[in-house]
């Protein structure tokens, strides 16, 4: 509580900014060689750029300045050497996280590199107040090229009646914006060019999402999230380049089917896009076990997945654009589509299950008949002496097949039988 009150007093005293200028003076012993460091560093800014300027003393050599800008937490440091004599430095605000302390340092150097000055530094914090009242997880996407959609979560210490408002600026406003000395309510000075993002999502009365249409798609957008009627709510700065944050509409699954016992085929549609540079994740859940696997595929709108035998399953998919240089957001998950795990495959299976045993049985019956006949050719029945000459037919048969040669010159009809026998296993054991 005391902390909050002290912040209040800060606000009413309008102490918005903390600036530390550290210029290290020259140590006398070494060096008349050393140059004088830059002095009186000042920062001015608007929503799109930060502008530092400094003063320097005349010196005997041609001077250049080396500058570095960094923020507190990110490891990113942007350094530059100004080749010509130039006593100011400008960067885009989108390079840095404006919610963190910004560190600037500069030193002078002779162009021949032989002499240089100590560093002069300026450290600036744009915000004041309890950082836990600012929004968190702020994120904007360009949804299906239709509109910009931003979402966030309220800060932990924000009051329950907090009214977060999202202001945005398009980059073409940049040239019209004057540079101002920064202070924690700086964005108020640019309200005349700001546009309002329309809230659409509320939770417990607190706005947590907003959207707006944009006409020009390539430019950068800058955001400030603040409560315009409560200065104790710490503002939050953010930015985006819409073409790098394009979110696809959720894909539509158009076909799932089991193409064989262990393979599911899935096909989907991504609205308004060819599939190149589209990556899709497929979530396959086996319903009996509740286990799910995620597979991913690039550049195509179908995939074959391994599946358990005959188990019902659910599939949903999501897509995103991938590029070597940008991380586009995933779409929402598609609607789920559920398969029985049996369809298509089951019918063929039933047919095969009936056909194969039937065919085998037929073949066996046929083989047995043939074998019996062959058996009678090799071991012809001994003619009944009582009937031996009783039937001319019997005698003829006996005479015809008594020699082995005769077996191989069987009538055409029987030849088919012998072929069947040679090919089937029982016949080979017979032959041996």
Ligand X SMILES: *[C@@H]1O[C@H](CO)[C@@H](O)[C@H](O)[C@H]1NC(C)=O
Footprint on this chain of ligand X (rule: CB under 6 A)? 40, 42, 55, 58, 133, 158-159, 161, 163, 165, 228, 230, 232-233, 252, 254-255, 257, 259, 265, 269, 283, 285, 292, 294, 314, 316, 333, 336
Burial of 306 (0-12, 13-18, 19+ CB in 10 A): exposed
Shorter beta-carbon distance to ligand X: residue 254 or 428: 254
Shorter beta-carbon distance to ligand X: residue 219 or 281: 281
User: Residue 283: enclosing H or E segment and its boundaries?
Assistant: strand 278-286
Shorter beta-carbon distance to ligand X: residue 47 or 233: 233
Shorter beta-carbon distance to ligand X: residue 185 or 228: 228
CB of 79 to ligand X, least distance (A): 24
Using DSSP's 3-state secondary structure scheme, residue 341 falls into coil
CB of 252 to ligand X, least distance (A): 6
Q: Is 176 left (phi over 0), alpha (psi -120 to 50) or beta?
A: alpha
Q: Is there a contact between 47 and 187 (Cβ–Cβ < 8 Å)?
A: yes
Shorter beta-carbon distance to ligand X: residue 272 or 385: 272
Shorter beta-carbon distance to ligand X: residue 198 or 309: 198
The sheet with strand 302-306 has its strands ordered as 252-260, 263-269, 302-306
What is the secondary structure of 189-200 as a DSSP string?
GGGGG-EEPEEE
CA gap 63, 269 in Å, rounded? 61
End-to-end CA distance of the chain: 103
CB of 217 to ligand X, least distance (A): 21
R_g of the chain computed on alpha carbons: 43
CB of 190 to ligand X, least distance (A): 15
CB of 318 to ligand X, least distance (A): 8
CB of 61 to ligand X, least distance (A): 12
Distance of CA 265 to the CA centre of its chain: 22
């Amino acid at each position: 509580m005391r902390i909050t009150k002290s912040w209040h007093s800060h606000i009413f005293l309008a102490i918005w900014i903390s600036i530390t200028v550290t210029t290290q003076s020259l140590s006398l012993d070494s060096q008349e060689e050393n140059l004088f460091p830059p002095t009186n560093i000042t920062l001015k800014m608007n929503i799109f750029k930060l502008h530092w300027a400094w003063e320097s003393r005349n010196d005997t050599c041609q001077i250049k300045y080396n500058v570095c800008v960094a923020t507190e937490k990110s490891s990113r440091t942007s350094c530059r050497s100004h080749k010509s004599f130039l006593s100011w430095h400008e960067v885009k605000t989108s390079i840095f996280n404006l919610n963190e302390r910004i560190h600037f340092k500069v030193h002078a150097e002779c162009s021949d590199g032989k002499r240089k000055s100590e560093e002069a530094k300026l450290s600036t914090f744009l915000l004041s107040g309890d950082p836990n009242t600012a929004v968190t997880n702020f994120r904007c996407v360009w949804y299906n090229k239709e509109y910009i959609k931003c979402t966030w979560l309220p800060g932990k210490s924000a009051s329950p009646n907090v009214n977060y408002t999202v202001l945005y600026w398009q980059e073409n406003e940049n040239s019209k914006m004057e540079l101002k000395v920064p202070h924690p309510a700086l964005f108020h000075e640019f309200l005349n060019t700001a546009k309002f993002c329309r809230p659409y999502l509320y939770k417990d009365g607190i706005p947590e999402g907003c959207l707006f249409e944009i006409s020009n798609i390539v430019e950068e957008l800058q955001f400030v999230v603040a409560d315009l009627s409560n200065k104790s709510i710490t503002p939050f700065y953010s930015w985006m380049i819409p073409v790098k944050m394009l979110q696809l509409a959720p894909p539509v699954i158009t076909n799932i089917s089991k193409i064989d016992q262990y393979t599911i085929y899935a096909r989907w549609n991504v609205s308004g896009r060819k599939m190149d540079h589209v990556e899709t994740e497929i979530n396959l859940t086996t319903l009996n076990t509740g286990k799910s696997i995620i597979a991913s595929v690039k550049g195509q709108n179908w995939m074959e997945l391994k599946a358990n035998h005959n188990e019902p399953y659910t599939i949903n998919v999501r897509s995103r654009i991938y590029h070597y240089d940008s991380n586009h957001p995933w779409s929402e998950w598609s609607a789920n589509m559920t398969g029985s795990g049996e369809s298509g495959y089951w019918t063929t299976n039933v047919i095969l299950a009936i056909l194969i045993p039937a065919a085998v049985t037929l073949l066996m019956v046929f083989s047995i008949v043939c074998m019996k006949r062959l058996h009678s050719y090799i071991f012809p029945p001994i003619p009944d002496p009582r009937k031996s000459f009783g039937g001319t037919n019997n005698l003829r048969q006996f005479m015809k097949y008594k020699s082995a040669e005769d077996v191989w010159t069987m009538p055409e009809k029987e030849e088919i039988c012998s072929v069947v026998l040679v090919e089937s296993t029982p016949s080979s054991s017979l032959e041996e």
